[in-house]
Amino acid sequence: MYSFTYDVLPVRVVFGSGTSKNISDEIKRLGCRRALVLTTPQQSGLGERVSSELGEFSVGMFNGAVMHTPTDVTEIAVKVAQELRADCLVAVGGGSTIGLGKAIALHTDLPQIVVPTTYAGSEATPIIGQTENGLKTTQRTLKVLPEVIIYDVDLTLGLPVQMTVTSGLNAIAHAVEALYAKDTNPLISMLAEQGIAAIGRALPRIYANPEDREARSDALFGAWACGTCLGAVGMSIHHKLCHTLGGSFNLPHAETHTVVLPHAAAYNAKAAPEAMARIARALGVDDAPRGLFDLAAKHGAPTSLAQIGIQAGDIGRAVEIACASPYWNPRPIEPAAIRELLDNAFEGKRP
Ligand code: NAD
Using CA atoms, how far apart are residues 37 and 23, in angstroms rounded to an integer? 11
Q: What is the pLDDT along the chain (351 residues), one digit of tens a residue?
A: 999 999 999 999 999 999 999 999 999 999 999 999 999 999 999 999 999 999 999 999 999 999 889 999 999 999 999 999 999 999 999 999 999 999 999 999 999 999 999 999 999 999 999 988 877 788 999 999 999 999 999 999 999 999 999 999 999 999 999 999 999 999 999 999 999 999 999 999 999 999 999 999 999 999 999 999 999 999 999 999 998 898 888 899 999 999 999 999 999 999 999 999 999 999 999 999 999 999 999 999 999 999 999 999 999 999 999 999 888 999 999 999 999 999 999 999 999
Using CA atoms, how far apart are residues 88 and 85, in angstroms rounded to an integer? 9
Q: Which of 156, 163, 249 to mutate to test the pocket of ligand 1 (most atoms within 8 A of CB)?
A: 163
> Which of 144, 137, 186, 177 lies closest to 11, judged by CA?
144
* 8-state DSSP, 159: S
Q: Which of 9, 44, 50, 67 to mutate to test the pocket of ligand 1 (most atoms within 8 A of CB)?
A: 67
Ligand 1 centroid, distance to 118 Cα (angstroms): 6
Contact present, 104 and 81 (Cβ < 8 Å): yes
Q: Which of 43, 144, 255 to mutate to test the pocket of ligand 1 (most atoms within 8 A of CB)?
A: 43
Please tell me the class of the 161-347 domain.
Answer: mainly alpha
The amino acid present at 256, given as its one-letter code, is: T
Distance of CA 244 to CAs 227, 341, 342, Å?
20, 14, 12
Q: Whose CA is nearest to atom 28 of ligand 1?
A: 95
Ligand 1 centroid, distance to 160 Cα (angstroms): 12
Give DSSP secondary structure letters for 305-345.
GGGGT--GGGHHHHHHHHHHS----SS---HHHHHHHHHHH
Using CA atoms, how far apart are residues 171 and 256, in angstroms rounded to an integer? 12
Q: Whose CA is nearest to atom 27 of ligand 1?
A: 95
The residue extents of the domains of the chain are: 12-156, 161-347
Using CA atoms, how far apart are residues 156 and 151, in angstroms rounded to an integer? 9
Contact present, 152 and 127 (Cβ < 8 Å): no
Question: Which atom of ligand 1 has the smallest separation from the CA of 68?
Answer: 32
CATH 3.10.20.30 fits 12-156, yes or no: no
